Chains A and B, each alone.
Chain A
Amino acid sequence: MTVAEIVFYLIAAVAIIGGIGVVTVPNVIHAAMFLVLSLLATAGFYILLSSEFLALVQILVYGGGVAVIILFGLMLTRGRELPLASSGAQWPAGLLASGVLLVGLLTAVLDSEWPRQTGEVALISMQNLAGALFRDWLLPFEIASLVLTVALIGAIVISRQEEGEA
Chain B
Amino acid sequence: METAAEQIPLESFLFVSAILFSTGVFGVLSRRNAVQIIMSVELMLNAVAVNFVAFAAYTDGELFRGLIFAVFVIIIAAAEVGLALGLVLGVFRRRATANVDEVSQLKW
Contact = CB atoms under 8 A, between A and B. Distances in A.
Contacts of B80: 151
**Residue in B18, B30, B31 whose Cβ sees the most chain A Cβ within 10 Å:** B30
Q: Is the interface of B mostly helix, strand, loop or mixed?
A: helix
B79 A128 contact: no
A93 B97 contact: no
Interface residues on B, range: 35 or more
B71 A54 contact: yes
Q: Is the interface of A mostly helix, strand, loop or mixed?
A: helix
A121 B71 contact: no
A74 B31 CA distance: 14
A154 B36 contact: no
B25 to A, nearest CB: 4
Contact of B4 (A8, A65, A66, A158): A8
Contacts of A8: 4, 8, 12
A92 to B, nearest CB: 9
Nearest to B18: A105
Interface string B19-59: 11111111111111111101110110010011001101111
A102 B29 CA distance: 14
B22 A98 contact: yes
Interface of B: 2-16, 18-36, 38-40, 42-43, 46, 49-50, 53-54, 56-59, 61-64, 67-68, 70-72, 74-83, 85-90, 92-93, 96-99, 101
Given A98-B26, A154-B83, 7 more contacts: A4-B7, A23-B43, A50-B57, A54-B74, A65-B78, A115-B58, A147-B75
